[in-house]
Amino acid sequence: MHIRKNKPWNLPESSATCEADFINRRRFLKAVGLGSSALLGQSLTHAATYGFPPKVNPEFRADGLEPTDYDLIKGYNNFYEFSYDKGEVQDLANRGWQTEPWAIEIKGHIKRPQKIDVNELIKKAGGIEQRVYRFRCVEAWSMVIPWDGFQLSTLIDMVEPTEKARYLKFSTFFDPNSAPGQNGGSIDWPYVEGLTIEEAKNELSFLATGIYGKALPNQNGAPIRLVVPWKYGFKSIKSIVKIEFTNSRPMNTWQALQPREYGFYANVNPTVDHPRWSQATERIIGSGFLSKRKDTLMFNGYEEQVSHLYEGLNLKRNF
């Protein structure tokens, strides 16, 4: 039996592969004349190519923050279906895992249940646009990411929820042959996440099909993933195969793993520490060898757009 020292919930940034290690590895690969794709023989076919290049939506600019380098966004990943090691995900997610064609099933309390090809879905949604969002992982690091995709509310309107629909439950693919992490570990696969329908209808909730004007790399959740920028990164579930409109609150993967540490809401909140580390500041990925830190903002800087969703809710208890 293979005993894992690092369970996923025991992975604050300090015990995960640190950025410096990762960058040194890249330098090494470059120095020996091998980009990672050359080394690994990656087939760079990406799904959901419909709609590129997208138009930039100037209303979503993350206060003009400089976006993180593309190489870091696609090389420093949490995707436990492939590995617990952030620097290894890129390789493992590109060894034959097929993200095209890809269908999504949309079901539950809606008038128009359907199973739809992802490119067809993007077409129906009216195409894609680019938005720059802050991204804050619960492990206290952050990036700024130019996402391409469409607003989740467009999909919600398309399927016509009934009165009974109060939550959205999202599921990731399950394919242990392609995703080695799904052969074991502590997570009860597939990875699932949830939002209230009000959260899902908020204009910030986004379905991403690309980054920096290019189709989503496999390791970032090809061909389509959720992006909820005011919540910790784990809510932004990758490689979605199913969206279910439910009446009761779905249990999400991280809460199921460690309910004392991870809740349903997972709103970014600098005043509520993780039981094992502070959430007051964050390490800025790509800010140099001695990474800079900055103060974490309430709702990750999106307080104006989302605080009304939580009026009357005790955010210390509903973390």
Ligand X SMILES: Nc1nc2c(c(=O)[nH]1)N[C@H]1C(S)=C(S)[C@@H](COP(=O)(O)O)O[C@H]1N2
Interface with Mo ion by CB under 5 A: which residues?
Answer: 78, 137, 233-234
Cα distance between residue 242 and residue 88, in whole Å: 26
Residue 208 interacts, among Mo ion, ligand X, none and using kind-specific CB cut-offs from 5 to 8 Å, with: none
Per CB under 6 A, 233 contacts ligand X: yes
Q: Which stretch binds ligand X (CB under 6 A): 24-32, 52-60, 77-85, 301-309?
A: 77-85
Alpha carbon 267 to its chain's center: 14
Q: How far is the CB of 236 from ligand X (least distance, A)?
A: 5
d(CA 203, CA 263): 23
d(CA 83, CA 176) in angstroms, rounded, equals: 12
CA–CA dist 112, 92 (Å, integer): 36
Q: Which of 50, 67, 75, 81 binds ligand X (CB under 6 A)?
A: 81
Q: Does 137 bind ligand X (CB under 6 A)?
A: yes
Segment lying near ligand X (by CB under 6 A), choices 32-40, 75-83, 195-203, 267-275: 75-83
Report in angstroms how near the CB of residue 137 gets to ligand X at its nearest.
Answer: 4
Residue 80 makes contact with ligand X by CB under 6 A: yes
* Contact in structure between 92 and 180 (CB atoms under 8 Å): yes
Tell me: does residue 234 bind ligand X (CB under 6 A): yes
Q: Return the range that interacts with ligand X (CB under 6 A); candidates 33-41, 72-80, 266-274, 287-295.
A: 72-80
Q: Which is nearer to ligand X, 109 or 211 (CB)?
A: 211
Pick between residue 234 and residue 265 the one whose CB is nearest to ligand X: 234
User: Up-side HSE of residue 169: CA atoms within 13 Å toward CB?
Assistant: 19
Contact between 22 and ligand X by CB under 6 A: the answer reads no
Q: Which does 79 bind (CB under 5 to 8 A by kind): Mo ion, ligand X, none?
A: ligand X
Residue with tokens 């209303």: 59
* Nearest residue (CB) to ligand X, 109 versus 255: 255
Binders of ligand X among residues 160 to 179 (CB under 6 A) are 172
User: Which member of 236, 255, 267, 279 binds ligand X (CB under 6 A)?
Assistant: 236
Residue 231 binding: pick among Mo ion, ligand X, none (C-beta 5-8 Å cut-off by kind): none
Nearer Cβ to Mo ion (217/233): 233
Binding of ligand X by 78 (CB under 6 A): yes
Residue 202, number of CB atoms within 10 A of its CB: 20
Q: Is 191 in the site for ligand X (CB under 6 A)?
A: yes
Residue 292 Cβ vs Mo ion, minimum distance, rounded to whole Å? 19
Residue 238 interaction partner, one of Mo ion, ligand X, none, beta carbon < 5-8 Å per kind: ligand X
Q: Which residues bind ligand X (CB under 6 A)?
A: 77-81, 137, 172, 191, 220-221, 233-234, 236-239
